[in-house]
Homo-oligomer: A and B are copies of this chain.
């Protein structure tokens, strides 16, 4: 793939380690990012943060929400940012949130520990350049019809703008799959990306499947295939969530999942490095 430069393994053979607050991702460090799809109110985000604080590494929560319909809940905006940061600092978790607009980037970067570019904005080049000019790490989600090359070139925009702290995230691609899953999680993307780039690669099995009861097996598969972490939606009352309830785990399910993933990670680390 000749078109990539700064993100390529040829340019930098050793794994990049991205640091989010006090959490490392990549180069053998795995991280679990967890939290609700949207920050809904102070009680909600504090409750979730407390319940997952000893098993998640980074707290996620949307303040600015990209919604297909203009009439859906669009997030709490700046107030959502404030609540997310409060919840993270209360329980010792760095926080990540999505930015949708160039106008929000600097505000968000002033408060949170990591900026997320969502799948729908993977090729929003103005936004990529803007987050590339910040000093906070970036979580770049793969567009749901983006090739490996397109994902890497979007990351290249960020590195070319001066920010080399980028984590890639596979979150499912759009196929003929139909009604049983919203998307098809493309786990082969993980080893392919890790051959091509030095950047860490994580997997989002919540968006990637759209069904909470598929999150556990696919999170485990993500670690087994070589991912540097997972991003999981957690909500105390999924049936009342303002967005993405059907794919959210309850906190106790997430705690159990984290324990399973920790054991699997320990097992994988005990094996030698591949055949």
Residues of A within 8 A of B (CB): 3, 5, 66-71, 100-104, 120-121, 123-127, 143-145, 147-150, 153, 156-157, 160-161, 173-178, 180-181, 184-188, 190-192, 195, 208-209, 213-214, 216-218, 220-226, 253, 256-257, 260, 263-264, 267, 271, 274-275
- Contact assessment for B173 and A188 in the assembled complex, using a CB-CB cutoff below 8 Å: no
- Contact assessment for A124 and B125 in the assembled complex, using a CB-CB cutoff below 8 Å: no
Q: Which of B100, B156, B181, B216 contacts A192 (CB 8 A)?
A: B181
**Residues of chain B within 8 A of A226, CB atoms compared:** 217
- Contact assessment for B180 and A175 in the assembled complex, using a CB-CB cutoff below 8 Å: no
Instruction: Tell me the bound Cα distance from A199 to B125 in angstroms.
Output: 28
**Residues of chain B within 8 A of A190, CB atoms compared:** 217
Instruction: Tell me the bound Cα distance from A149 to B175 in angstroms.
Output: 15
Instruction: Tell me the bound Cα distance from A274 to B219 in angstroms.
Output: 12
CB closest residue in chain B, given A121: B124
**Residues of chain B within 8 A of A188, CB atoms compared:** 181, 184-185, 208-209, 214, 218
- Contact assessment for A145 and B147 in the assembled complex, using a CB-CB cutoff below 8 Å: no
